[in-house]
Structure 1
């Protein structure tokens, strides 16, 4: 057995010992305190700033100010969501059914986390795991390893204050690699994977219970009833936040013909520059190199993006995002896929039905199951999209990247990992949250029999079809 495998086994072994003691001597107070310690480790302002600076320096993705905001708000929202939630002991005792439910930890969680959010995503997983009585071992991307290591150092410092076991929160030792990650996937009690779809597939094939989340490629529709200025403002805020590192950033803008020109005018006021379809080929050539997104452009500031796309002097001063007019969708039309940059594809739809069809085709090409955005005053249209498109979320009149992962002004749980259901090849269709880190034992007691007569079950059917 290789040294790499042995080193992973050693980490898992320590985690199992720590988790067993955590559970055996657990209490709601202990679980809550450990989760709060991990939350404060990333939210303490000086530590948050250091994590954000290190993340940008080592990954080259996003910007410091927005990562500070993300680390703070995502963690604060999660702590709000789990505050007062029972995750230890007896959860319920139902006299009618005779069933008592007891909260039980899963054990050792293996979490594979991406370089796009190398502090916020691990923190989210750690807090959820600790809240439910688990230990957790992280496998960060190579570029995110330094940030993950710093985060764990901050968490361990907080653990020392409350006398908690550092081995409850660990990461894979040394330089990352597929062999180590694969061993983690095979030996943990549950694996949670955010990021690379290759890692998601490997998790589902590992033989370990797995939660993987799908790829993003958000399409957002602006219809003829929308508040155009509000829609443009929200789209610009969302698309530019942390330089579009979020899987929930808008990648395609689908605008109904009746308001197309008016919308482009208000988008321009928000720093959105439009590149006509006649010049789209030049953008594609620069944004993709040898079939892969250009690392000099993805998740970069506006000035870098503009320069690398060859748009210097061709777009107005103050340009924050680029919208490229296109009609194509599918493998031969890269603009219809995820761009991880301040670049969005721009489609002109004949009407709302055509817009919905374009969104469907984009999602089926990439991003199925994730989400779609709608800016509209017609409440029926969001329901129509929810009944017909392959998505788990329809985000209405909101800045998409802020809303999809939970917000203080919507009811979704705060998360950085969005399940995409069967459409995205996932085992969950909800935002990853604390319920996914806990299981239940049921005590089943006898109750008076409740066996129905045949007439009670089949009377309606008999009336329709006869006996």
Structure 2
């Protein structure tokens, strides 16, 4: 039997679909107490509650696989968002404790900024609200495009932002209907395990399934390989250096790679130099310059270079003289005797960053060269564009300054120093032509004008935050939407041939 539908019938169908969508949105936003959710969904749990940390990586993957099937079968989008809200509250209540623990274990960065960074991640990582369904209607029927999960995701986290990446990736991935198996950096495995345990407790107490987020207790290169090879892993996400990204891309699976950066800053003659100095120091000193988005080198027009340096010093920076620069180089850098690629690019360079000095306080660097009783968060040095501090992503509160004669020279040298990472760049300028020229030439994922680099991830800037900026693979600033696949459903022929 053929069902004949006229235009009024089709409109009735469309209205019904829209009404259901509106109802779902209304239900999603309806405040529900945690105890109510727990009572309503406890019967959905079939997996015994565990803390998400496994001795065996294969078991971590298997439990995440079972959890993902349950997550999609028995939990609505509104349920997902309520579980995510519980995770946010649990992490937020423990921000100060985790900031202390991550600093104690990794021994890099500083406590105050770790508190700010984790708080930012909890508050501004988007959840299910970013998963918008797109619809098309017309004479030929109705089409809607949904964001659907990949399944189980394998994710690698860096030592620079270990727990922040777990929270950021974890929220985004489970918001998209996935589960995730983390292979964390070995130097942060204990605090990372505590974070995974906290998230699992918050999830199950809110009525969600156990093991939405798992990790292997002893992460190694071998466990990364096992995760990548496992049949249940449908997507790989890596946050770290270029070699890690390169290895993920070789697996043959869909991979999202967030590589290193070496963000340049340009300051021209039209900039508000006092504000520029404040913004540069804010970004370059945050967590002792551990963030990949942070200002790494300045290219300033010679006509305003002295004034900019004056403002930077007035804001508390310390200028190293030439002899001090040479002495600091002796222990913060090391010769690349083996010729391996290092720093922020795949290229072999004469120097590598000494890992034991990554993320250390500026005052400790000064103390190493005998300068005592100086309170500063940032060390400055005037160098040429070819200097290792310009060309390497040193991840230390050392900011090299390069004088240039023209905007054209500034752009050319900045693009060269960024090494094609397409990560982040900053300019302080009120000349729209200069801003536009630099933006087009550098072509980075994040581009900030007249602000701190932190504005690019929503810290005193608009937009959501992320700890995974996928420049190498092109996804850009990642969110729950990044960790989903599109599914297009089509009701064709205006619904005229429905039987």
TM-score range, shorter chain: 0.7 to 0.9
- Asked if structure 2 preserves the Cα contact closer than 8 Å seen for 1:369 and 1:391, the reply is yes
Trace 1:306-317 onto structure 2 (pairs within 5 A). 306-308=366-368, 310=369, 312=371, 317=374
Secondary structure at the aligned position of 1:404 is classed as helix
Structure 1 Cα separation of the partners of residues 134 and 413 of structure 2:
46
Structure 1 Cα separation of the partners of residues 374 and 104 of structure 2:
27
Structure 1 Cα separation of the partners of residues 91 and 446 of structure 2:
28
2:101 corresponds in structure 1 to 54
Offset from partner CA, 1:104-153 (integer Å, 9 cap, x none) = 21100111001111111110000001111111111100011111111112
1:460 corresponds in structure 2 to none
1:416 corresponds in structure 2 to 467
2:395 corresponds in structure 1 to 340
Instruction: Tell me if 1:32 matches 2:81.
Output: yes
**More moved, 275-284 vs 6-15:** 275-284
Structure 2 Cα separation of the partners of residues 318 and 138 of structure 1:
38
- Asked if structure 1 preserves the Cα contact closer than 8 Å seen for 2:390 and 2:417, the reply is no
Trace 1:49-128 onto structure 2 (pairs within 5 A). 49-78=96-125, 81-82=126-127, 84-86=129-131, 92-95=135-138, 98-128=142-172
Could you tell me how far 1:278 is from its partner in structure 2?
A: 6.0
Could you tell me how far 1:35 is from its partner in structure 2?
A: 1.8
Structure 2 Cα separation of the partners of residues 434 and 108 of structure 1:
14
Picking from 336, 348, 354, the partner of 1:294 is: 354
- Asked if structure 2 preserves the Cα contact closer than 8 Å seen for 1:103 and 1:438, the reply is yes
Trace 1:169-248 onto structure 2 (pairs within 5 A). 169-172=213-216, 174-187=217-230, 188-248=233-293
1:433 corresponds in structure 2 to 479
1:166 corresponds in structure 2 to 210
1:324 corresponds in structure 2 to 381
Offset from partner CA, 1:318-367 (integer Å, 9 cap, x none) = 3321112111427xx35421111110111001122211111011112xx6
5+ residue gaps, structure 1: 421-425, 449-467
Secondary structure at the aligned position of 2:162 is classed as coil
Offset from partner CA, 1:14-51 (integer Å, 9 cap, x none) = 1111111110113111111122222223211xx11121
Instruction: Tell me if 1:21 matches 2:70.
Output: yes
Structure 1 Cα separation of the partners of residues 130 and 256 of structure 2:
22
1:462 corresponds in structure 2 to none
5+ residue gaps, structure 2: 1-53, 337-351, 495-499
Picking from 450, 455, 458, the partner of 1:403 is: 455
2:27 corresponds in structure 1 to none
Secondary structure at the aligned position of 1:110 is classed as strand
Q: 1:6 to 1:339 in 2, by over 3 A?
A: closer
Structure 2 Cα separation of the partners of residues 21 and 94 of structure 1:
33
Q: Aligned-residue CA RMSD in angstroms?
A: 2.2
Could you tell me how far 1:194 is from its partner in structure 2?
A: 0.3
Higher RCO structure, 1 or 2 (CA under 8 Å, sep 6+): 2
- Asked if structure 1 preserves the Cα contact closer than 8 Å seen for 2:148 and 2:485, the reply is yes
1:305 corresponds in structure 2 to 365
Could you tell me how far 1:82 is from its partner in structure 2?
A: 3.4
Instruction: Tell me if 1:371 matches 2:424.
Output: yes
Secondary structure at the aligned position of 1:99 is classed as strand
1:356 corresponds in structure 2 to 411
Structure 2 Cα separation of the partners of residues 371 and 69 of structure 1:
20
1:274 corresponds in structure 2 to 319
Q: 1:328 to 1:17 in 2, by over 3 A?
A: same
Picking from 287, 294, 309, the partner of 1:264 is: 309
| TM-score between the two structures when normalised by the length of structure 1 | 0.85
- Asked if structure 2 preserves the Cα contact closer than 8 Å seen for 1:280 and 1:326, the reply is no
Structure 1 Cα separation of the partners of residues 120 and 365 of structure 2:
27
- Asked if structure 2 preserves the Cα contact closer than 8 Å seen for 1:35 and 1:128, the reply is no
- Asked if structure 2 preserves the Cα contact closer than 8 Å seen for 1:26 and 1:133, the reply is no
Could you tell me how far 1:204 is from its partner in structure 2?
A: 0.8
Secondary structure at the aligned position of 2:296 is classed as strand
Could you tell me how far 1:180 is from its partner in structure 2?
A: 0.5
- Asked if structure 2 preserves the Cα contact closer than 8 Å seen for 1:77 and 1:407, the reply is no
Picking from 175, 179, 186, the partner of 1:135 is: 179
